[in-house]
Chains A and B, each alone.
Chain A
Amino acid sequence: MSLTFLEAGLLGLVLVCGLTTALLKDVLSAIIAFAAYSLGMAMLWVVLRAPDVALTEAAIGAGVMSLLLLLTIARTVRPSHKAFTESIRLRTAGVVGAFVLVLGTTIPSLPAIGSPRASVIDYRVTEYYLANAYAQTEVKNAVTAVLAAYRGFDTLGEATVVFAAGIAVLVVLRKEGFT
């Protein structure tokens, strides 16, 4: 697919919000910038035809995550700074730059975006799901069919992780601990 204005704008929004999040010194401002970043991501998922991911991102990424972060600074502290932005340390920037360059060298070997012959698309697992999901599960949404039926154990594992995280949060925040 060629780069459309809509997608270029959304990518720009996401990158600018990400950079703003990194550079703002004030934690509350960074959280707000991060919420905008998540919202941009949710819109990008819609453009990339992933409505399920977009809904989850908007509800969890922009909603629950911002709420958790805000609750954290409400219970702890929002340090006040004289400086508006973070000062950039060249050594770290160099390390991250090297990391980005090394990752960037892999880009030319990736398939072009939207190519029907890309390995993920032109692969028998994808083809099997798309051809058989409705006949076997009677669920029209292939994502739901894969999530709940074909990869149900993955989803069970995910539920286990959420449960374990809930218990961990309770244990950590309990003042006396288990006695």
Chain B
Amino acid sequence: MIPELGQFSLILAFCLCVILATLPLLGASRNNLLWMSLARPLSAGIFVFLAISIGILAYSFAVNDFSVQFVANHSNLLLPTRYKLTAVWGGHEGSFLLWTFMLSGWMLAVSVYSMSMPIDFVARVLSVLGILCCTYILYMLATSNPFDRVVPLAPADGVELNSFLQDFAFILHPPALYMGYVGFSVVFAFAVAALLSGRLDAAWARWCRPWANAAWAILTMGIALGSWWAYYELGWGGWWGWDPVENPPLITWLLGTALIHSLAVTEKRGVFKSWNVMLAILAFGGSLLGTFIARSGLLTSVHAFATDPARGIFILAIFALAIGGSLLLFALRAPLLKSEFGFGLLSREIFLLGNNMILVVASASVLLGTLFPIVYQALTGGLISIGPPYFNVIFVPLMALLVLLLGVGPICRWKKTSTGYLVAQLSRVALASVVLGVLLPLVILLEFSFAATIATSLAVWISLTMMKDLANKTANKPTRLQGLKSLSLGYYGMQTAHLGVAVMLIGASMSSAFDSEKSVLLSSGQSIDLGEYVFVFDGTTRIEGPNYIGDEASIQVLKNGEFERILNPQSRIYITSGSPSTEMAIDAGFLRDLFITLGEAKEGGAWSMTIYIKPFMRWVWLGSIFMALGGIIATRDKRYRRLRRRQEELLAEDLRANLQPAL
């Protein structure tokens, strides 16, 4: 009975969505204030019913209701409660419900934080989101209902949740990733609303920016969590694998990065208007493409959900409707959105244009690499696979170029900058970056690597140009502190995120240039040297978890002969499914990670194990945290709030003016 309530609630949400998808949109075009004002309460209603729905699914997991097919397939009696609850997104149906619930959350947020915008615009935005929500719920009800029952006989126990998913990071990664992904549908809705209303100006960019920043920041965290999870759970010592399902979030992220930069240009200078709309559509397209690839079984991947062609067709239809439709709308309406201002050949606009070009090319090449196997198979019937080498060859140089521009852009002035000014500002900084880039890796790691030198130079370049810019911007104030106080949160957000790029650059390049690994077979009491560390194997003990059994090794780590700590990697067998799993032991440090995976027991009590040392590994995620933080700081900028007050007055006038014809 309870699960049926969940389904009923889903159907009610669908009904509200149908109204939201139509009436406010019609109201906006006919200037009917009543219909437009329905958008906000309807969004709240949809949120409530989807919350009930997902709550009931979680409840079904909590009480082990194995008569629900989805619960029986993803949970069992032995599963710890926290994983029972997160098993809600452990499979296709439930994760799609989470996805839709996230969308309704964003809709609610838009309806609450949109008081500064004209009602017709809000109505259009929410209506477009309503259309999306409507198709998602329809998709669930038609092909992937999480509340389907097992009839007539419910199993006494369910099957094992994939052991990879029984992990802390899995509690966070999918919700964060989905929230970021879905956040781009808000930006998309803004773009479509702009096309529909023909209103695309600096004010539009200002309304749009906090949403784009927020979605981008959350997506950054979602991707970073995923890579962290892969790093410590999958046990192959890597953090990014260019997997077909990993790539679309990256495409979305790259396009989203381009978008937040081009929105800045539009807000400040009124140019790149229709380009924003294009980017918003494409970034959202990337997120739908990701959904399609993960859920249709189009490409084989570690992330693949169950494969059923009907599901693929349905998502493809949503994809074609949303993206094809909006691109068509763009083609018809974009000529109305002309930019009026020009800019010089050497100006901040140009550098941001360069940023956009590089990011778009990068995302296009990732897309190409992801889909090329299908193109090839469709054209020739042959089979190929595209591996990391392709992606690294294309992606790494593009990012290096981007970082080079990143240093100049903020120093450069809007509209027009003289070459002499740039040279004066940057020549010493450039020299210092190269010198430090060569010296730092040598001093810290006592090794030379070309890649590390380039990466360090670029990271120093980012940091020094940033300091130079800060120095310039605070120079005119009586004290530096006053100068720092006078800078906007938007500026600080930008610099924080840029610093994140530098930090991540160091992490990514050092951990791949200087990592060392060794696979060994050790008996109790034996030891192995790697770098400046000695690892002593002290044997294993049997362990018993709630739903697994296994062995835990005890390994002493000695650095330069002195005891540092003990690491305990595990090898587990999950009882219900019998599937083996290894739990890495990681000693995470600011300058290096030690990482041990326990393999198999051999005859005579020897164990195979692999030991990795990865310098600066943490910096990859530290950098992501800085980037995300930068995005969030920028959304808190005062000018969005100031604007709100001014707009409220305008809104009041607007309402009075609007009410007249209605009366």
- Are both chains from one complex? no
Interface residues of B (CB under 8 A from A): none
